[in-house]
Structure 1
Amino acid sequence: MKIFIPKLKNSWLLWILLLSLFSVEAAIYEWTDAEGVTHYSDRPHPDAKEIQVKVDNPSHHEYEVESVHDGDTIRLKGGEKVRLLGINTPEIESRFRSAEPGGDEARDWLKFQLEGKKITLEFDKEKRDHYQRLLAHIFTLDGTHINLRLVEEGLAIVSLIPPNFKYSSQLTQAQNKAEATKLGIWNMAAYTPQPITKLAAEKYEKGWQRYWGTPAKIKQTQKYSYLVFNKNIDIRIPQKQLSYFDPLENYLEKKIEVRGWVNRRQNHYSILVNHPSSLKII
């Protein structure tokens, strides 16, 4: 790359703008020609002096972790809350809900890794959620991807919500490995897959769960595609996310597992699925 900016009074400011596109430490060469005009370039020039400039990309600023709320939410020094992208950990006990198995373990692990330490944040398509929390992938200063490590340890499940699909393949691969080796929540009785037909017969769990069943047909609406198990139970996939999935016909008459949260409306039960990581043939 050759950049040459002659005869600009504010060329130094322009260099700063250019460098701010990157997180780099770069050499810039400055010289003044016979007419008294100052020049800057990234290439050496006779009589030029070298200026070392380092400009940080704003998305790689360092932040200090003040506290860890639970396995997927932290507070930065200064008060900002950060929700870890691409994952979900079981709930801890609060005045609004009971603790879920694995919630305390995920929180304690995250505390050990982050509390009082400095981190960097990497954002995706959306920077904040409807609670105004920052949405980010968290990295320690040695480059450890905390979101990914939680999944690798079996402390978190992959929960990909559009349009934030960054690192989806890495997270999904880590989850497959943790599940295969029965780490963390993948070895807990509370998350053993249950027949999906039990939803209409028994009181269902309100948290993240795993269900298995055999879909009988596909239904389409303008907003969703549905894998229908019976008149009371289905899986719904947003039409705009359908391209991420195999053809839905591939799931018909096969035993599949769906992972997610059950939504109940009167006697109808539905599970929203945004990404293939939450749906698989078994």
Structure 2
Amino acid sequence: MIHLFPVTQKAFRAPLSAFFYACFLLLATLLPAHADCVLGEADEIVALKKVVDGDTLRLKDGRRVRLIGVNAPELAHGGRRAQPLAREAKEFTERFLSGGDLELVYDRDRRDNHGRVLAHVYNHRGDSLESALLSAGLAFHIAVAPNLSLAECLSSREQEAQDAHRGVWTPGVWPVLQAADIRPGDGGFVLLTGTVKEVEKNQFVWLELDGPVAVRLQPERDYGHVSGRNWQGRKIEVKGWLVDRGAKYSSQNKNHKRWFVASDSEFTIEISRK
């Protein structure tokens, strides 16, 4: 379940105070190791060259590895400022992986569309990096098909952080966007809330929200609802990448929403019961 807080789109906080930052790192260090969320024996034992950010690694053989099942806050790049807790997520990953080689375990897809290796990553003690990041509140659980083998376990680790208000789940730390407030220039990973106004079906199920945004669902997933539920009027909370199809698309497809968020599984969306 995604517990969203009434924070506006422009509410990214200033850098954390030194005191809060030190306390946060101490808390993360004291969290228990996570040998859970294990898919199987290691497919590869590899050496780490550097941590690029909380969820991306560079190996000594030159390959880039993107963790499956998590999205950590982005560091500053391309003129965009750092997202809340991006530095903390990177430093947490550096400490968690120090002291030895890494274990990579593959799921169904082994590469993303950027050519990065997709893998579940464990440190030399066999502890899950994804599980640890989620439990510390330093990443969001994402469930992107077809790599859903550990989605239920990772979702439960995120829920622990939400319940304890850790990291990105601390009230006021991460902005929550309203579907009705989306404007040109908005995009990237978001927490989004809105109300379903219409439903369209083709190869996907499209929940059209109050605003210029639709949520794309996979028709074969049940999203925790019984078949045939009436979606209209229901409040949703979704996390994922907000895709802007552009002004040209919008002008040529006036019955379609300009922006959409794809939800591949029930682990990334909550739909109200009334």
TM-score, normalised by the number of residues in structure 1: 0.71
Matched, 1:212 2:193: yes
Secondary structure, counterpart of 1:253 in structure 2: coil
Superposed CA deviations along residues 141-164 of structure 1, whole A, max 9, x for unmatched, are: 322111111111100101111110
Q: Identify unmatched segments of 5+ residues in structure 2.
A: 1-39, 251-257
Asked whether 1:273 is paired with 2:267, we answer: no
Percent identical residues = 25
Q: Is residue 149 of structure 2 the alignment partner of residue 187 of structure 1?
A: no
- Is the Cα contact below 8 Å between 1:72 and 1:89 reproduced in 2? yes
> Which has the greater radius of gyration?
1
The amino acid across from 1:68 in the alignment is: V
Structure 1 distance, partners of 2:168, 2:211, is 31
Paired AA for residue 237 in structure 2: E
Task: Identify which of 128, 137, 140 aligns with 1:154.
Answer: 137
Count of matched residue pairs: 222
Aligned pair in 2 of structure 1 residues 95, 274: CA closer, same or farther (>3 Å)? same
Q: CA deviation at 1:230?
A: 4.3
Q: Distance in 2 between matches of 1:150 and 1:86?
A: 11
Distance in structure 1 (CA, Å) of the matches to 2:85 and 2:238: 20
Aligned to 2:65: 82
Alignment of 1:131-280 (within 5 A): 131-187=114-170, 189=172, 191-199=174-182, 202=183, 205-221=186-202, 223-230=203-210, 232-239=212-219, 241-243=220-222, 245-246=224-225, 247=227, 249=229, 251-264=231-244, 265-266=246-247, 268-280=258-270
From 64, 87, 107, the equivalent of 2:90 is 107
Q: Write the deviation string for residues 31-63 of structure 1: whole angstroms up to 9, x where unpaired.
A: xxxxxxxxxxxxxxxxxxxxxxxxxx9844422
Can you list the C-alpha shifts for 1:46-100, whole angstroms capped at 9, x where unaligned?
xxxxxxxxxxx98444222121000001112222211111111111122464311
| Residue aligned with 1:242, SS | coil
Distance 1:142 1:277 in 2: 28
Structure 1 residues 102-111 or 254-263, which shifts more? 254-263
Alpha carbons 2:97, 2:124 under 8 Å: kept? no
CA contact (8 A) 1:67 1:116 kept: no
CA contact (8 A) 1:66 1:116 kept: no
Secondary structure of the 2:103 match is strand
The correspondence of residues 4-83 of structure 1 with structure 2, limited to 5 A, is: 59-83=42-66
Consecutive unaligned residues of structure 1, counting only runs of 5 or more, are 1-56
Matched AA of 1:235: V
Over 3 Å counting, the alpha-carbon distance change for 1:131 and 1:208 in structure 2 is closer
User: 1:213, 1:257 within 8 Å by CA — same for their partners in 2?
Assistant: yes
Structure 1: 4+ residue segments shifted above 6 A: none
User: Cα gap change, 1:216/1:248 in structure 2, threshold over 3 Å: closer, same or farther?
Assistant: farther
TM-score normalized by structure 2? 0.73
Residues 239-275 of structure 1: CA deviation (Å, up to 9, x unaligned): 3x53455347354322221212222232522211112
Q: Which structure has more RCO (C-alpha within 8 Å, separation ≥ 6)? A: 2
Deviation at 1:120, TM superposition (A): 0.9
Asked if the contact 2:243–2:261 (Cα under 8 Å) also holds between the matched residues in 1, the reply is: yes
Secondary structure of the 1:235 match is: strand
Distance 1:178 1:251, change over 3 A: farther
Q: Which has the higher strand share?
A: 1
Contact 1:193–1:212 (CA<8 Å) still a contact in 2?
A: yes
**Code of the aligned partner of 1:154:** G
